[in-house]
Structure formats: C-alpha cells, structure tokens
C-alpha cells in the first residue's frame, strides 16, 4: 500500500471516529498534503525514521514556522501511529523525530527594527480609535470594537454571542460557544475549547 492510499483511508476513518471540528479537518488535510509532496509514490512500509526526519528538516529549511511544523508532525504521529496499531507497520517512523530548535538571536535595543516589533494600541490610541468608530464607523462598529477592547474576548466568540448572553446589570458576558468555521455562507458554532462557560466583565471608565 502506497502512502497516499493509506493517508486517504486514515483521514476518512479519523473523521468518522473522532468527529473533529472543520478547522481540525483542515489542519489534518494540510499536514497530509505536505507529506504527500515527499511520500506520495512511496510504499508505506518503505518510510523510515530517517526519511520522516528529513521531511521535518526540509520544512524547517523552507522557512515554515515552528508551530506549523509541529502541527504537521502531530498529523504524522497520528497517521503512522494508527498504521502500527493496524499492523500495517512494524515500527513507527515518527517515534524519535524532532524539530530542531532555532538559535535564539540576541538583539541590542539599538539594532531593533521597528517593523519587527509587536503593534499594540496605547490607551490614548484605543480611546481615539473607539471615538472614530462611534463617529464614522458602520452599523454596529462602535458596539463591536468596544466589546473587543474592553472584554478581551475573541472575534469567534463575539460573533456567536446572543442577547441572552449579556447581563447588563452586572456588566458580564457569558461565553460558551464560538464560530469555528464559515463556509458557503453557513455559520458553524462549536463549544469553547475547555467546554466551560467563561464570563467577561466589561467596564469603560
């Protein structure tokens, strides 16, 4: 069995058994696509630890972010781990794989490039921005940006809010779902990661 054939079977079973969120499915497909560029025409049993490690090293050399490589590696561990469970492989080629640590670059303050620094609003800037949103923004812009600024909730959580989630007396917003995917004009809602209701307090003073 070639890698591509097994990857298709694995993904279908993974979706059926774990019923992952659409975003997770997209991540797994992305990881498989990256492996296909290396293993597409190779038989599953021919993939060695050295070959798998070479994939991770190559992705790093191409400049992929560490978090992206970690996500791809997670897909690889799941995929090859299941192959071992099903007796399709004797050894898991991902078992000793690792992502090389990047050397930490020490930069003097005088050498810092302003374009590389994080961009945040100062207090006076956010207040000015909110005033502009109130004066010149589109419908609901003032409400949207005030909620984001004064509660710290995510955009996905904001768009899933209902009026019943608001406690206007205590100035609290209860958050228990978020927008996980938007596709073909359909809004998919899912529970928050820890499946608990969290409350955000808001107060502008």
Q: Which CATH number covers residue 41?
A: 1.10.150.130
Using a pLDDT cut of 90, give the percent of the chain over it: 40
Task: Indicate whether 157 belongs to any domain.
Answer: yes
pLDDT confidence bin for 125, thresholds 50/70/90: confident
Task: Indicate whether 92 belongs to any domain.
Answer: no
Task: Indicate whether 181 belongs to any domain.
Answer: yes
Residues 71 and 134 in one domain: no
Task: Indicate whether 143 belongs to any domain.
Answer: yes
pLDDT of residue 105: 46
Cα gap 159→72, rounded to integer Å = 29
Q: Tell which wins on pLDDT, 147 or 198.
A: 147
77-111 tens-digit pLDDT: 999 999 999 999 999 999 999 998 865 444 444 55
Residues 7 and 76 in one domain: yes
Report whether pLDDT(123) > 90. Answer: no
Token pair listed for 128: 């000015």
pLDDT confidence bin for 187, thresholds 50/70/90: very low
Which residues span the domain enclosing 77?
3-85
Q: Specify the pairing of strand 166-167 against strand 172-175.
A: antiparallel
Residues 77 and 129 in one domain: no
C-alpha pair distances (Å), 15 with each of 21, 54, 68, 124: 9, 28, 21, 48
Task: Indicate whether 153 belongs to any domain.
Answer: yes
Task: Indicate whether 11 belongs to any domain.
Answer: yes
Task: Indicate whether 114 belongs to any domain.
Answer: no
As for how many domains the chain has, the answer is 2
pLDDT confidence bin for 172, thresholds 50/70/90: confident
Mean pLDDT rounded to a whole number for the chain: 81
Other CB atoms within 10 A of residue 42 CB: 14
pLDDT of residue 106: 43
Would you say 149 and 158 are in contact if contact means Cβ atoms under 8 Å apart? Answer: no
Residues 14 and 74 in one domain: yes
Residues 60 and 133 in one domain: no
Residues 127 and 185 in one domain: yes
Alpha-helical runs (H) found in 19-64: 22-39, 49-61
Residue given tokens 């279908």 in the structure block:
12
pLDDT confidence bin for 39, thresholds 50/70/90: very high
Residues 8 and 76 in one domain: yes
Task: Indicate whether 90 belongs to any domain.
Answer: no
Residues 71 and 128 in one domain: no
pLDDT of residue 103: 59
Residues 60 and 132 in one domain: no
Report whether pLDDT(188) > 70. Answer: no
């Amino acid at each position: 069995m070639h890698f591509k054939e097994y990857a298709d079977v694995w993904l279908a079973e993974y979706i059926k058994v774990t019923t992952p969120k659409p975003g997770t499915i997209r991540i797994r497909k992305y990881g498989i696509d990256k492996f296909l560029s290396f293993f597409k025409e190779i038989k599953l049993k021919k993939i060695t630890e050295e070959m798998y490690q070479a994939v991770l090293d190559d992705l790093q050399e191409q400049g992929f972010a560490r978090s992206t490589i970690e996500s791809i590696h997670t897909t690889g561990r799941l995929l090859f781990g299941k192959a071992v469970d099903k007796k399709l492989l004797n050894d898991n080629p991902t078992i000793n794989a690792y992502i090389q640590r990047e050397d930490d670059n020490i930069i003097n303050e005088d050498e810092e490039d302003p374009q590389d620094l994080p961009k945040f609003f100062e207090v006076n800037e956010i207040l000015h921005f909110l005033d502009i949103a109130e004066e010149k923004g589109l419908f609901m812009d003032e409400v949207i940006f005030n909620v984001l600024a004064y509660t710290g909730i995510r955009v996905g959580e904001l768009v899933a809010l209902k009026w019943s989630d608001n406690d206007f007396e205590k100035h609290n917003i209860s958050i228990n779902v978020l927008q996980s995917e938007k596709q073909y004009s359909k809004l998919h809602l899912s529970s928050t990661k820890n499946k608990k209701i969290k409350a955000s307090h808001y107060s502008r003073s």
